Amino acid sequence: MVLSYTYWEAPEGGYIGFINQFPDYWTQGETPEELENMLKSIYQDIQTFDNIQNAVPEKTGTLVTTV
């Protein structure tokens, strides 16, 4: 399974990120590789507990704005 994630470098060092489908569950790592391992661990935890729902609803819409 391929999951996308968002991450950034923390000002105090290391990396912070979350799986895009579950943005409420952040984690951190000293290196990008460690961050990926932590994200995999979070995903495994999410899959273990049936009551955790996708934080991102699977619906889309359109937005009209004036510029």
- Give the pLDDT mean for 3-25: 93
Number of domains present in the structure of the chain: 1
Range of the domain at 28: 1-67
Residue 60: helix, strand or coil by DSSP? coil
For the entire predicted model, the pTM comes to 0.73
Q: Tell me, what CATH number does 11's domain have?
A: 3.30.160
Encode pLDDT of 30-56 as tens digits.
999 999 999 999 999 888 886 666 555
Q: Residue 34 belongs to what H/E stretch?
A: helix 32-48
> Whose structure tokens read 């899959």?
47
Which of the four pLDDT bands, split at 50, 70 and 90, describes residue 67?
A: confident
